[in-house]
Every structure is written in structure tokens, then in C-alpha cells.
Amino acid sequence: MPLIYLIAGGTLLGLSTNLAKLASDFQLSALAFLFWSISGAALLLLMFAAFRHNLPPINRRTLEYYVTSGLLGVAGANLLFFWLFVVGCGIPP
């Protein structure tokens, strides 16, 4: 099972670079692409958790954690990655 997760993660990472290039071809900014991709993933995970009756707790402390980890762990890294991809390809930001 770990091998399947590794292959799936690598496939999705490779797909994200191609989608970032496609988004820049359609004049979609890196920030907009990042917002919609992360929002869609969060919505899918939330629907899956609701289907399993296992919603995450929501209180002040957990919201602080969700926002901090989302900005530092996901959004910041992906924004830097997509921005460098666009700049590295010579496409104006």
C-alpha cells in the first residue's frame, strides 16, 4: 500500500506542474490557480469526512492551527513553487 501512495503522490505532483503551465497559458495567475486548486481539494476532503461522519473539530485553537499550517505548509510552498515555475519559464507574472 505505501508504494501505491508514493506512486499516486508522484503522479499528482507531476500533474500539478503541467496544470500550472496550462493555467499560465490561459492567463490565470499563480495565486488564482493555487486558490482554486487548494479550495477544491479542501472541499473534497471535507465532503469525504462528512460522508464518513468524521468531521474535524472546529474551535478557536483548531482554527488557528488550520490557518497557520495551511499558510505555511501548503499555500506558501505551493505559491513559491508555481511562481518559480512561471518565472523560470520566462512567462511574465
Interval 13-70: pLDDT, tens = 788 778 877 877 888 877 788 788 888 888 999 999 999 999 999 999 999 998 888 8
Contacts of 29 (CB under 8 A, 6+ apart): 93
**Confidence bin at 89 (pLDDT 50/70/90):** low
Higher-confidence residue of 9 and 29: namely 9
Distance of CA 12 to the CA centre of its chain: 10
Q: CA 22 to CA 30: how far, in whole Å?
A: 11
76-88 vs 2-25: helix axis angle to the nearest 10?
Answer: 50
What predicted TM-score, i.e. pTM, was given to this entire model?
0.63
